[in-house]
Structure 1
Amino acid sequence: MQKQRPKHLDLAKIRLPVPGIVSILHRVSGVALFLSLPLLMYLFAGSLSSAADFETFRAVIAHPLMKLVLIGFLWAYLHHFCAGIRFLFLDVHKGLELETARATAKAVLAVSLALTVILGVLVW
């Protein structure tokens, strides 16, 4: 008996498990952090060069849209960090059981979002 495989995948109908979502978000957050490095380095260097440039930096950071972008980077960092710790444990064969893997994936999502909200309130 041979299963008929789909000829095309409907990505809107595929439902990933929570560990799969955490894995994909780990990759997405890593790419986002890597691509944002030039912007963050430019802003950091500009804030240290002179007092006038620092005031310009503060004016840019005070804009609500820029604050949202920075909170997005904060989430990317926190999620990447928390998921990275989870993956390190998986690499040493800790937490490979299905229920444990699901629980740690949910914990990564909860902790990264909670820390983002807490630190985001401080940033705002």
Structure 2
Amino acid sequence: MSDSASKPRPQFRNLSAAQLLSYHLPLAGKSSILHRVSGALLFLSLPLILVPLFAASITSPESYAAMREWVGHPVCKLILLVLIWGYLHHFCAGIRYLVFDLHIGTEKASMQKSAGIVFGVSLALTVVFGLKLFGAW
């Protein structure tokens, strides 16, 4: 008789706050949740942030200069950095899910590995674009 058969696995039903803090999602689960969060972030930011910024920037040369000055503020740059991360994570995770639709990499180990790759690539690209956004070059 194996050791795992003698210990009952914990069951999480009607989770309390203490159980929520002790429950650990696998990396693939975190990637899935962040894919949904980044999609919602992008969807909600379109009418609230991105379209008004674009519309104000193409109205006239003066409005473009004013928008450029406004976007140069550090708080605005942080907001744009979050949107950049949201786009890059959603893009990379979306490619991961398209590959799953082709029935490639659907084993547990490869799903964990691909989730790690999504996090690594999206965060690395966010750092690169963030450095550019904050004027490193």
- Normalising by the residue count of structure 1, what TM-score does the alignment of the two structures yield? 0.93
d(CA) in 1 for partners of 2:102 and 2:95? 11
Q: Deviations over 1:58-115 (max 9, x none)?
A: 1110100000100100000000000000001111110011111111000000000000
The residue that corresponds to 2:62 in the other structure is 52
Pair member with larger Rg? 2
Q: Which runs of 5+ in 2 are unaligned?
A: 1-7
1:35 matches 2:44: yes
In the superposition, relative to structure 1, how do residues 7 and 98 fare at CA in structure 2: closer, same or farther (>3 Å)?
Answer: closer
Distance in 2 (CA, whole Å) between partners of 1:63 and 1:43 is 14
Aligned residue among 5, 10, 20 for 1:11: 20
Name the stretch that deviates more: 3-12 or 113-122: 3-12
- 1:61 equivalent to 2:71? Answer yes
State TM-score, norm by structure 2. Answer: 0.85
Query: Runs of 5+ in structure 1 lacking a partner?
Result: none
Task: Give distance in 1, aligned partners of 2:52 and 2:58.
Answer: 10
What is the deviation of 1:8? Answer: 2.7
Q: How many residues align?
A: 123
**Correspondences of 1:69-80 after superposition (within 5 Å):** 69-80=79-90
- 2:128 counterpart letter in structure 1: I
Distance 1:43 1:85, change over 3 A: same
What percent of counterpart residues are identical? Answer: 46
Give the aligned partner of residue 96 of structure 1. 106
Q: Look up the equivalent residue of 2:20 and give its one-letter code.
A: L
Q: Per-residue deviation at 1:55? A: 1.3
Counterpart of 1:16 in 2: which secondary structure? coil
Q: Report the Cα offset of residue 4 of structure 1.
A: 8.1
